[in-house]
Amino acid sequence: VAMSQVLEGGRLKGGSMWVVPQNLYTPIRQDAVLLQRGAHNEAAVALMKLLKSPNIKTLIRSYGYDI
């Protein structure tokens, strides 16, 4: 399962886990984009700003994701 499913705030929810060495897989790249259609949408712009904030980057890492 994904590491994000067994971690909660950087802590193991219970049981045990083994982190697969990065040389054994190709990471799945996930991106967020702001389309031209949403460029003037305040909520869309705010979400992009939030995703780039240091606090959210720390939160994302705490669930096992790399930035």
Q: Are 45 and 51 in contact (CB under 8 A)?
A: no
Cα 3 to Cα 40, 46, 66: the distances in Å are 35, 27, 11
Q: What is the pLDDT of residue 32?
A: 93
pLDDT of residue 16: 86
Q: How confident is the model at residue 7 (pLDDT cuts 50, 70, 90)?
A: confident
Question: How many structural domains comprise the chain?
Answer: 1
> Coil, helix or strand for 54?
helix
Domain that holds residue 37: 3-62
Among positive and negative, which fits the CA dihedral 23, 20, 66, 30? Answer: positive
Note whether residue 42 is domain-resident.
yes
Per the confidence metrics, is the pTM higher than 0.75? Answer: no
46, part of any domain: yes
Q: What is the pLDDT of residues 13-62, one digit of tens each?
A: 888 888 889 899 998 888 999 999 999 999 999 999 999 999 999 988 88
Residue 67 lies in a domain: no
Residue 39 lies in a domain: yes
